[in-house]
Chain A
């Protein structure tokens, strides 16, 4: 399937260009349309949380940005450059392997089920990428990993294999692993959904710390409305593959405009 890409710029320039931009992005699985001409911009250093009913395309947004899913239409830009496409002459064409590898380096991701490498210790999980992808020496990679494991409170467990860690501990190692690659954009895909309720706090604490101390651009999908409200700069409510409503947390949670948003939020509140 070829699409007309003539309307899309080869790069985004200017001092106030967004860190992430979805420009008219659509995606279908067979007959099911997961994203419908999505336009979304995330500024540098902004924390955006995506909420919405399941099947509304929330996770797909993150997975596309991590290049785990292809897109059918539109272009995704990261840090000014097209991610899903690359310039050839004065038009955009679909990105090849090399382009994806170069641009993907800007992005880090944490998964619902952690996806730690089970045959590597916490420390080795955090040094694998820096050594083999970024070309750091073993000592440099270890220093960097230890600093991050310290930050997420897992330095004592650096030599443990994932099988010996609790869910909350695994997720904290996974956050350190992603940060060790020094991404500009961090993606959190339901990182507390697989955790026991009493340990979600140790993971959300780490994310709070990141928001407070680093100028990372972050996109998060979560079902924890209270947490989202506390730390997000902006909330996007997704419905049927589109942004139904978005705004600062106090507006979206306090005074939702759309009827669907109101329905969703009251359903969530009742569940609590």
Chain B
């Protein structure tokens, strides 16, 4: 088996197109995870013990079961309860929920890293809880959360191939299809690896820069 350059060039446009789908899946999934994760983190900090426990257990459950199971569950089991979702919607929901559980832990760590005295100062100025979170606590928690958030951004990108199992036409799915059509797997899968590499590496660097910039903007540079 040898590498065929003309075949490589021939399949490249298809794979690049699929890269768009991969990026979109990662971006939308991450967006869902960011918002939902914050909700999960904040829910565990309310004074309501029952809510905290339920959310805590839910997060643990999601983190302790495989992503692929969750994808199958949303896509194949939900319809039996009358909720039929397209592969894309089911995929985004599953991966978003999965990473929301992980991000909630990152947020929680960030929130806990903020000195208790900040809450006391907020109380002494009579700032309400929501206001204190928004203006005092979260701006200080976020820079501490960014390295962890960045790891999971790269993580979600690398997990998007799992969506191929329910037929989301992202990179892996497309490479597989090319292989099935042509019986050549070397070039498509190698290209997929290279494409992931070209996205992941700059992304990690971008996250590092974002953290530095945010710290500087907030006057938190040490």
Contact = CB atoms under 8 A, between A and B. Distances in A.
Interface of A: 66-68, 101, 104-105, 107-109, 111, 113-121, 128-129, 132-133, 161-163, 177-178, 181
B124 A161 contact: no
A161 B115 contact: no
B125 A129 contact: yes
Interface residues of B, number: 21
A104 B127 contact: no
A80 B120 CA distance: 24
B136 A117 contact: yes
A161 B216 CA distance: 11
B123 A129 contact: no
Interface in B23-66: none
Contacts of A116: 121
B70 to A, nearest CB: 37
Interface in B95-128: 115, 117-118, 120-121, 123-128
B189 to A, nearest CB: 46
B208 interface: no
Contact of B135 (A113, A121, A132, A178): A132
Interface of B: 115, 117-118, 120-121, 123-128, 131, 135-136, 139-140, 218-222
A119 B126 contact: no
Contact of B219 (A107, A109, A161, A177): A161
Given A129-B127, A163-B219, A119 B139 contact: yes
A101 B125 CA distance: 10
Given A118-B218, A119-B219, A129-B125, 4 more contacts: A101-B126, A108-B124, A115-B121, A119-B139
